[in-house]
Amino acid sequence: MANLQNQQIILGISGGIAAYKSAELARLLIKSGAKVRVCMTQSACEFITPLTFQALTGNPVHTELFDLEAEAAMGHIELARWADRILIAPASANTMAKIAHGFSDSLLTTLCLATKTPVVIVPAMNQQMWRNRITQKNVSLLEQSAIRVLMPAAGEQACGDIGPGRMQEPQIIVDTLGQENDAVLSGVNIMITAGPTQEAIDPVRYITNRSSGKMGFAIAEAAEQLGANVTLVAGPVNLETPRNVNRIDVKSAENMFDAVKNNVVGQHIFIASAAVADYQVAKVATQKIKKKDESISLALSKTSDILAEISTQHNDLFTVGFAAETEDLKQHAMDKLHRKKLDMIAANKVGNGQGFDVDDNALQVLWKGGEHALPLTSKKELAKQLMQLITTHYQAR
């Protein structure tokens, strides 16, 4: 069970059907040792009554910005100072937009503006509202302001839709808060590429490689466990999204480059573990290619080198590349470290059952003036060790 002993938490509740889960959340927070005060927006009170939370927490519930009685007991500035943490669950698209843009038109939004304490936001909304570019931009804005956003779960929604937008389960939220006590990367935004890319030949065929995405997804999970806000740009893979990770699915190298460029602003660390195609089909056939000739040739053109372009254009970004090699591992990796202007590179042997599409891996990590070997182990364990190394070097820079 998470230990939140004596942590003073303001539980903010905004309007949404998921507000019913906040009662269980309040109960679990208290069970973990936290002292909880609840602040509800007007819309939240339409879904669940303040009385429920008063009974659960034993404290009066705060709902009004201008309430003489409440201000006399504990003013909103005092309330903001009281908190070790503000947790907003559920956070509606509207409340997220207001906080992202610095509005202070309700007690809850005012508290967020009037505090230096960490704010954690747990979104809950219809899947289309969550996917909307405006909401996604607001998520980026919040993360740039060092506000942690716990990514919603996907599944069946109250409105009948299916997709991402469900509020995380109360136990997961409490566990995540518990882990944050040793969250060395709290407030750090990390973008990771993972998996293969698919380069179309015609409407039914493509060129790809054997990457399963396991290495990149394990890194995303390890980074999230250290408290980072993680954006995972994933090629076509068959893997579950790690908890609290913002996943963007792409197909081709060009799609991956676009997704990275669109989301790179505000990132602190970029880890390129994807096996991006070096070449794409120069002219993709619009119709299925017919089996007429004995042999055919495909003209290929070079794709953009995502990692090299990003590291050259964003000098402040801490960049970590991968090198997949079948021979002269260290020499090729060193060359990529310098040529692509990286802070670090993780080199792995591939081919003959190594690296691609297996559960275990080994890495030789190199940087200017140093190196460290991470011996063969599971990709999950390896990702944790790699994230420790990256954290040390990122913090030292």
Closer Cβ to ligand PMT, 201 or 237, answer by number: 237
State CA 242 to chain mean position distance: 9
Query: Is position 319 an interface residue for ligand PMT (rule: CB under 6 A)?
Result: no
Query: Is position 360 an interface residue for ligand PMT (rule: CB under 6 A)?
Result: no
Amino acid, res. 148:
R
Query: Is position 32 an interface residue for ligand PMT (rule: CB under 6 A)?
Result: no
In the list 53, 270, 356, 394, the residue contacting ligand PMT (rule: CB under 6 A) is 356
**CB neighbour list of residue 281: distance below 8 Å, 6 or more residues apart:** 199, 200, 201, 207, 298, 299, 300, 301
Residue 193 phi/psi, 5° resolution? -100, 145
Tokens 């021979």 found at: 327
Looking at 145-276, list the stretches that DSSP marks H as alpha helix, in order from N- to C-terminal side.
170-179, 214-225, 253-263
Query: Is position 130 an interface residue for ligand PMT (rule: CB under 6 A)?
Result: no
Query: Is position 386 an interface residue for ligand PMT (rule: CB under 6 A)?
Result: no
Helix (H, G, I), strand (E, B) or coil at 353: coil
Query: Is position 215 an interface residue for ligand PMT (rule: CB under 6 A)?
Result: yes
Helix (H, G, I), strand (E, B) or coil at 74: coil
Query: Is position 140 an interface residue for ligand PMT (rule: CB under 6 A)?
Result: no
Helix (H, G, I), strand (E, B) or coil at 281: strand
Query: Is position 247 an interface residue for ligand PMT (rule: CB under 6 A)?
Result: no
Residue 155 phi/psi, 5° resolution? 155, -160
Tell me the C-alpha distance between 331 and 391, whole Å: 25
Tell me the C-alpha distance between 212 and 196, whole Å: 7
Where are the extended beta strands (E) located within 102-221? 119-123, 148-149, 153-156, 162-166, 189-194, 199-202, 205-207
From the list 358, 362, 367, the residue with the least C-alpha distance to 390 is 367
Closer Cβ to ligand PMT, 142 or 248, answer by number: 248
Closer Cβ to ligand PMT, 243 or 332, answer by number: 332
Closer Cβ to ligand PMT, 109 or 364, answer by number: 364
Q: Taking contact as CB under 6 A, which single stretch among the options 59-67, 138-146, 268-276, 386-394 is the one that binds ligand PMT?
A: 268-276
In the list 305, 318, 319, 337, the residue contacting ligand PMT (rule: CB under 6 A) is 305
Closer Cβ to ligand PMT, 215 or 220, answer by number: 215
Tell the smallest beta-carbon distance from residue 334 to ligand PMT (Å). Answer: 12
Cα angle, residue 236 at apex, residues 235 and 238 outer, rounded to 5°: 120
Tell me the C-alpha distance between 221 and 299, whole Å: 38
Helix (H, G, I), strand (E, B) or coil at 212: coil
In the list 324, 329, 382, 387, the residue contacting ligand PMT (rule: CB under 6 A) is 324
Closer Cβ to ligand PMT, 226 or 260, answer by number: 260
Amino acid, res. 376:
L
Query: Is position 270 an interface residue for ligand PMT (rule: CB under 6 A)?
Result: no
288 is in an annotated binding site: yes
In the list 323, 337, 344, 382, the residue contacting ligand PMT (rule: CB under 6 A) is 323
98 is in an annotated binding site: no
The string over 221-258, giving b where at least 16 C-beta atoms fall within 10 Å of a residue's C-beta and e elsewhere, is bbbbbbbbbbbbbbbbbebebbbbbbbbebbbbbbbbb
290 is in an annotated binding site: no
Query: Is position 235 an interface residue for ligand PMT (rule: CB under 6 A)?
Result: no
Within positions 182 to 211, which residues make up the interface with ligand PMT, using CB under 6 A? 193, 195, 211
Query: Is position 273 an interface residue for ligand PMT (rule: CB under 6 A)?
Result: yes
Is position 159 annotated as part of the catalytic site?
yes
Query: Is position 253 an interface residue for ligand PMT (rule: CB under 6 A)?
Result: yes
* Positions marked active-site: 159
Residues of each annotated binding site for CTP:
278, 288, 322, 336, 340
Interface with ligand PMT by CB under 6 A: which residues?
Answer: 193, 195, 211-215, 253, 272-276, 278, 303, 305-307, 321-324, 336, 348, 350, 355-357, 379
